[in-house]
Amino acid sequence: MKIKKLLKRGNDFRPTFFAFPYVLICIIFVVLPLVLVLVYAFMDDGGGFTLTNFVEVFTKDNLLLLLKTLGIAALTTVLCLLIAYPTALILASKPFNRYVILALMFIIPMWMNFVLRIIALRSLLYMIGVDYGFAATIIGMVYDFLPFMLLPIYNVLMEMDKSYMEAATDLGANSFLTFFKVTLPLSLKGIISGITMVFMPVFSAYAITGMLGDTNTTIIGGKINGLFEMTSTWGVGSAMSFVLLILVFLTMLLGNVFSGKGDNKPLAKGGANE
């Protein structure tokens, strides 16, 4: 009887089972680490509950650091967008969109190790006499993150149905009006995806500030890393990571709200695929 039951269960095999090992991996290597960050953030040396770690996180110096990081991230994002959007727009426009290789040339450096690329930029900046500091840091950040902004915007613009632009022109809109009323709103999803791929990652890009910046350009990612290189400050480091985690969650929420607005399905897909 038992064997028969087992055999029957064997026949009950479903492909769904293939996802189960990964669920286990996620629990151990994704969920548990986040729980540990939470535990260390609220735990004192004796293992009891404490809020002192957070008191130490919200000092004047650290708030200033957070503000500075936000500033660097925002500036990097804006500059990337200002360079990437026109580039993507040109690459997706008429004579240029035939050459896929041209678009590829803009993202090839992405496949090269970024530390080596930043070292190269460092040599160039040294050669033309730009001192390491704030300006060099921003140049480095934009240099590193530009492809991540360019790629999603380029993809959205290439997939866009060009007849909307033609329709706008036919209906009497000039090229400026067509851009602001049709092209820009339809590419919002790519812009938001690009922003999320640049803004938050800058918080962790302390290697760039380390290579191109000075003592004034430290960012929060570098600070957290430093806290874990000493044994006595893991609690504060975890509390700071927890704050960053909340920030990630908030920006994700914000991104979802905005891309939800841009997700005008019947328009974007022509209603044909729905």
Partner 1 sequence: MNKKLSLILRWAFLIIVLVAIYLPIALIVVYSFSAEKNIGSENGFGEFTFSLYSQLFQNSQLMEATLNTLIIGVVSALLATFIGTFTAVGLYYMRKGKKTVNFISQITVVNAEIVTAVGFFLLSIFIRDVLSIPLNKGIGWLIVAHTVLTTPYVILSVGPRLNQLNPNLYEAGLDLGAGPMRSLFTVVMPQLISSMISGFALAFTLSLDDFVVTNLNKGTGGVNTISTFVYANLKRNLDPSIRALSTIIFVIVLAVLIVFNIVKNKKQKAAQVG
Site residues (CB under 8 A) for partner 1, limited to 35-94: 36-37, 40, 83, 86-87, 90-91, 93
Pick 122 or 161: Cβ nearer partner 1: 122
Pick 1 or 198: Cβ nearer partner 1: 198
- Decide: 85 and 191 in contact? Cβ < 8 Å: yes
> Least CB distance from residue 87 to partner 1, whole Å?
6
Cα–Cα distance for residue pair 131/187, rounded to 1 Å? 37
Does residue 96 belong to the site contacting partner 1 (CB under 8 A)? yes
Q: Which of residues 123-142 bind partner 1 (CB under 8 A)?
A: 123-124, 126-127
Residues forming beta bridges with residue 49, ordered by sequence position: 43
Does residue 176 belong to the site contacting partner 1 (CB under 8 A)? no
Pick 1 or 76: Cβ nearer partner 1: 76
Does residue 119 belong to the site contacting partner 1 (CB under 8 A)? yes
Does residue 113 belong to the site contacting partner 1 (CB under 8 A)? yes
Does residue 271 belong to the site contacting partner 1 (CB under 8 A)? no
Q: Which of residues 6-35 bind partner 1 (CB under 8 A)?
A: 13-23, 25-26, 28-34
Pick 160 or 245: Cβ nearer partner 1: 245
> Least CB distance from residue 123 to partner 1, whole Å?
4
Pick 210 or 262: Cβ nearer partner 1: 210
Structure tokens at 148: 């991540």
**Binder to partner 1 among 98, 111, 215, 272 (CB under 8 A)?**
111
Structure tokens at 267: 């328009």
**Binder to partner 1 among 115, 167, 253, 267 (CB under 8 A)?**
115
Contacts for 107 with CB less than 8 Å, ≥ 6 apart: 147, 150, 151
Does residue 225 belong to the site contacting partner 1 (CB under 8 A)? yes
> Least CB distance from residue 265 to partner 1, whole Å?
17
Pick 91 or 141: Cβ nearer partner 1: 91
**Binder to partner 1 among 7, 55, 120, 250 (CB under 8 A)?**
120
